[in-house]
A and B are shown apart, each in its own frame.
Chain A
Amino acid sequence: MTQAIKINNLNYQYDDTQTLFDDFNLTIESGQWVALVGHNGSGKSTLAKLVLGLIAANAGEITVFGVPLTVETVHEIRGQIGMVFQNPDNQFVGATVADDVAFGLENQQLPSNDMPSRIDEALNIVGMQAFKDREPHTLSGGQKQRVALASVLALAPKIIILDEATAMLDPDGRDTVMQTLQALKARFGKALTLITITHDMDEATLADRVVVINDGQLILDGTPAAVFSQRDLMHDNGLALPFAGELAAQMQPAPANYLDERELIQWLSRLKK
Chain B
Amino acid sequence: MAITFEKVNFSYGAGTTLAHAILHDVTVNMPSGQVTAIVGQTGSGKSTLVQHINGLLKPTQGRVVVDDFELTARTKEKQLMQLRQKVGIVFQFPENQLFANSVLEDVMYAPLNFGADKVAAQAAAETALRRVGVAEALWQKSPFELSGGQMRRVAMAGTLASDPSVVVLDEPAAGLDPKGQAELLQLVLELKSLGKTVVFISHHMDHVVAVADQVVVMHDGRVVAKDTPAVLFNRDLDWFKKMKLDLPKAGQFAEKLTAAGMKLPERPLTLTQLATAINTEVGHE
Contacts and interface: CB of A to CB of B under 8 A. Distances in A.
Interface stretch (A3-11, A23-31, A61-69, A237-245): A237-245
Interface in B191-248: 203, 244, 246
A238 B261 contact: no
Given A170-B203, A173-B42, A265-B256, A238 B271 contact: no
Contacts, number: 92
Contacts of B283: 252
B278 A201 contact: no
A246 interface: yes
Contacts of B274: 247
A116 interface: no
A189 interface: no
B180 interface: yes
A251 B260 contact: no
A272 B256 contact: no
B73 interface: no
A170 B178 contact: no
Contacts of A244: 253
B147 interface: yes
A265 B257 contact: yes
A41 interface: yes
A172 B271 contact: no
A80 interface: no
Nearest to B145: A17
Contact of A167 (B42, B174, B257): B174
Contacts of B275: 247, 250-251
Interface in A209-264: 238-240, 243-244, 246-247, 250-252, 261
A252 B244 contact: no
A272 B261 contact: yes
Contacts of B256: 261, 265
Interface of A: 38-41, 86, 140-141, 164, 167-168, 170-173, 199, 201, 238-240, 243-244, 246-247, 250-252, 261, 265-266, 268-269, 271-272
27 contacts: A39-B149, A39-B177, A39-B180, A40-B149, A40-B177, A40-B180, A140-B43, A168-B174, A170-B41, A171-B203, A173-B42, A199-B178, A238-B177, A239-B178, A239-B179, A240-B178, A240-B179, A243-B271, A247-B271, A250-B271, A251-B279, A251-B282, A261-B253, A265-B256, A269-B260, A272-B261, A272-B282
Interface of B: 41-43, 147-149, 174-180, 203, 244, 246, 249-250, 253, 256-257, 260-262, 271-272, 274-275, 278-279, 281-283, 285
